[in-house]
A and B are shown apart, each in its own frame.
Chain A
Amino acid sequence: MAGSAGSVRRRILRVDLTTGRATVERPEPHFMRLHMGGRNLIAHTLLTEVPPGIDAFDPENRLVFALGPITGVSVPGGSRHSVGAKSPLTGLFGESEAGGYWGAELKRAGWDAVIVQGRAPHPVYLWVHDDEVELRDARSLWGELTGPVEARIRADLGDPQVRVAQIGPAGENLVRFACIVHDLNEVAGRTGLGAVMGSKNLKAIAVRGTQPVTASDPRAIAGVARWVAQETLAPGEPHHRLHTWGTGAMVKSKQLEGHLVTRNFRDGRLPGGDQVDALAIQELTDHEMDRCYACSVRCKKRVKITRPDVEVDPKYGGPEYETMAAIGPNTGVVDVMAVCKGHEMLNALGMDSISCGATIAWAMEMVELGLMDEHRLSGETLRFGSADDLLRVIGKIASREGVGDLLAEGSLRAARTLGADAEARVVHVKGLEVAMHDPRAMPEMRRNYPVTPTGGDHTGAAGKRSGLRNTVGLCHFLQYDESTTLTLLNASTGWDVSPDELHATFERGITMARLFNLREGLKPEDDRLPDRLHQPVRDGPLRDRLLSRDTVRDEVRAYYRDHGWDPATGRPYADTIEYLGLGSVAAAAQATTFVAERREALPAGRPPYAPQPEENGAPAE
C-alpha cells in the first residue's frame, strides 16, 4: 500500500566556501524524478554550473555529493552515494561511488545532495546536523591521517555517531588520485575527487541526522530485505558467498585462467599471486566481517594484524579485490600481510588504491627497462615484487616527496615527462588507470572501459545495470534483477516509474556525461584501450590471444549507435537530446555544438536508443 511518505527529500544543500554561505535549494518534484541522483544529478550539475575548460582545481569547479532516491531506505544495498567533479586526473567527467553509512546519514539529516563550490580562505570542515549547517575551522586537522581526524571531529562535536567524509594528506597535497574517505573504509576512490576537495580547503563533511527515512511502501521493501537475508544463509548462493568471504575470492581462478593482473598488466600470472586472496586473508589475519547501512550481506572485511613486523588497524577495514590486485600481483607483490598494510596506509592517507597501485606498477616497469633515471628516482628503489619499496613509495606519493612528487601526478602525466616509450606502457583510458579486471579475458570489461565516461573504471557507468544502480543508490553486489530494482525505487519514493522511464533515466545520465566530456575536449579516438591491452600477456593460457583494435573500435561504434549517438563522432543526436528532455541542459551548458543531426529521421514513436543495450560493466558477481 503506497503511503504519502517517500525517500526523496527534495532538498539540496549548496555551500559556497569562498563566501562561507550555505543555501537550501528545493528542486521541483519533476526535476528529482528526471535526474534522480548519483551520476545523473552530478552530470546535470557539472554541465550546467562548471564553466567550460576550467582547471579541475579552479574554485569554480563543483564537488557534488549526490545520494540516490533509494539511499537511506532500510534495504540491503541502500547505502550508496556518488561524489563527482571535473576530474584532475582526466580533465573530464569525474565521479566515484561509496557505501557505508555516510550517505544514509545525510538522507536522515534531510538532504538529497550537497554541492560545494568556491575555495575557503583556510582549511575548514562542514558540519551538517539536520538543518543546522556550519563551517568550522580545520587548520589543526590539516596534515592529519583520516583515523585521528574522524576521532577528533567526533570529540569536537561531542557525538560518537557523527559520520565523516574526509580527505587525507594526499588530498591536501593535490595528489591527482586522492580519494574521499567515508567512515574510514568507504572510499569514493576513482578520478581524484579528494584532490578537488583539497583544492577547496575542505577537510571533511561531518553529518548527523535524526529524521528517519520512510519508504512509501515499507512492506514491499521488507519483502526484498527478507529475500536477501534468506539467500545470505544459503550455501552456494552469491549472497552467501559474498557474506562468507567478501570480495577477492576469485584470484585463484584468474591465476588459473591466466588473467591475473600481473606486473603492470604485462604477465597474466605470477607464482604465489593467488595467495593474495580473500581466503588467505581470512586464514592469516584476525578478521571479522562488517556491513554497510541496512545490509544483511555483511561483505566488508575488517582486518587486524598484530605481529612484531607488521600491525594493521581494523578501523580502516580491509582490502577489497581491487586493492588486493592493484598493490599485490600488479606490483609483483605476493605478501598478503604487506597488501593489508598497504590498504591501511591508503585509507589513512586518502588515495585510490587502483590508480596508486597501477602508477607504482608502471614506475616499477620503467625502472626495470631503464626508462626512469637516477635523478627522477631521487634515491628511491622501485622493484617489482618488493613489498618494502611498495609501502615506502605509497607514503612518499601522499607527501609528494622525492619520486613521489612525480608519481602523485598519475601514470599518464608522469609518463609524458619521460617520453614516448614510457607513455606507451601506461595502462589507462582517458588518463584514468585501468581497474583490475583484464579486458583481454573479460568481454564485459572490453566493452566497458573504452566508453565509460570516467575512463578505465570497472564499476561500469557505461552499462545499464551498473549505471542505474549508481543513479538510484543501490550496491552493485546485490543480486537484484531490473524488476526488483524498479520495485525498490517505486516502493522507496512513491513514484510510479515504468521500465521505459527507468531506461530513459539511464540514457539521460550517460548522455549528459557524454556531453560534458565532449565539451571538455574528448575526441572519439579517446574511446579506446591502451597499447598494452592490445598485446598478449607474456605467460599462461592466454599468451597467444591478441585483442584486436578493430574489435574494440567496432564495439565502441556499436555503443554510440545503441545510445542514440552518431556512430562516427560519438556525439549525441539532436533527437536523443530532445527525447531525454535535455535541450535546455545542453543550451545552458554551451554544449549544443556537440550535438549531431541524424541523416534519416527515426520512425515515429521509436526511442532514439536501443531498447535493451548490450550490458557493459561490472560483472554481476
Chain B
Amino acid sequence: MTPPLRVRVRPYADLARYFPGTGAVREVDVPAGATIQDLLERYGVDAEPRLTLGLNGELAQRDAALAAGDVVDILVPMSGGA
C-alpha cells in the first residue's frame, strides 16, 4: 500500500476552522495520487462557493495533483473596500 502524502495547508482567515490543529500552517495527510479537490472534500471545504487555490505559491486548479511537501493555499473571496 502506498503511504499517504503529507502536505502543508495554509487556510486563509476563517477557513482555518475546517482543519485540525492551530496556527497559519496545518500539516495534513492525503492519499497518494490525491488532487486539491480530494483534499478539499476530505475536510469539507469544497462546500465553500468560491475558492482561490494556490500550489507552492502559484495559482492552481482543483484537479492539480499533490506531492509530498506541497504547500496549498486556500482562500475565500473577502470584502473589497472604500
A residues near B (Cβ < 8 Å) are 97, 189, 235-236, 238, 240-242, 244-250, 252-253, 256-258, 278-279, 299, 320-322, 437, 458-459, 476-477, 540-541, 618-619, 621
Contact = CB atoms under 8 A, between A and B. Distances in A.
Given A236-B14, A256-B54, A618 B79 contact: no
Nearest to A237: B14
A236 B52 CA distance: 15
Given A252-B73, A256-B73, A247 B82 contact: yes
B13 interface: yes
Nearest to A258: B59
B79 A252 contact: no
A113 to B, nearest CB: 21
B42 interface: no
A235 B14 contact: yes
Interface string B68-82: 000001011111111
A248 B81 contact: yes
Nearest to B14: A235
A242 B14 contact: no
B47 to A, nearest CB: 9
Q: In the A-B complex, list the 9 residue pairs whose CB atoms are closest, starting with the nearest.
A: A247-B81, A321-B81, A249-B78, A253-B52, A320-B81, A250-B78, A253-B75, A256-B54, A247-B79
B13 to A, nearest CB: 6
A621 to B, nearest CB: 5
Contact of A250 (B53, B73, B79): B79
A321 to B, nearest CB: 3
B43 interface: no
Contacts of A256: 52-54, 57-59, 73, 75
Contact of A321 (B54, B57, B79): B79
Contacts of A299: 79
Which among A236, A250, A278, A299 has the greatest number of chain B C-beta atoms within 10 A?
A250
Contacts of B82: 97, 189, 247, 320-322, 458-459, 476
B80 A244 contact: no
Nearest to A250: B78
Contacts of B73: 252, 256
Contacts, number: 84
A363 B78 CA distance: 31
User: Interface on chain A toward B: helix, strand, loop, or mixed SS?
Assistant: loop
A245 B13 CA distance: 8
A247 B14 contact: no
B5 to A, nearest CB: 22
Given A256-B54, A256-B59, A621 B79 contact: yes
Given A257-B52, A257-B59, A250 B77 contact: yes
A278 B80 CA distance: 11
A188 to B, nearest CB: 10
A249 B17 CA distance: 17
Contacts of A540: 59
Contact of A245 (B17, B48, B59, B79): B79
Contact of A279 (B13, B52, B80): B13
A240 B77 contact: no
Nearest to A442: B80
A124 to B, nearest CB: 29
B13 A249 contact: yes
Given A244-B13, A244-B14, A257-B59, A621 B77 contact: yes
A619 B80 contact: yes
A79 to B, nearest CB: 13
B59 A241 contact: no
A459 B75 CA distance: 24
B23 to A, nearest CB: 12
Contacts of A246: 79, 81
Contacts of A238: 79
Nearest to B52: A253
Contacts of B76: 241, 253
Contacts of B81: 246-248, 320-322
16 contacts: A189-B82, A238-B79, A241-B14, A253-B52, A253-B76, A253-B77, A256-B53, A256-B54, A278-B78, A279-B12, A321-B79, A321-B80, A322-B82, A477-B79, A618-B80, A619-B80
A412 to B, nearest CB: 22
A245 B80 contact: no
B13 A241 contact: yes
A250 B80 contact: yes
Contacts of A189: 82
Contacts of B59: 256-258, 540-541
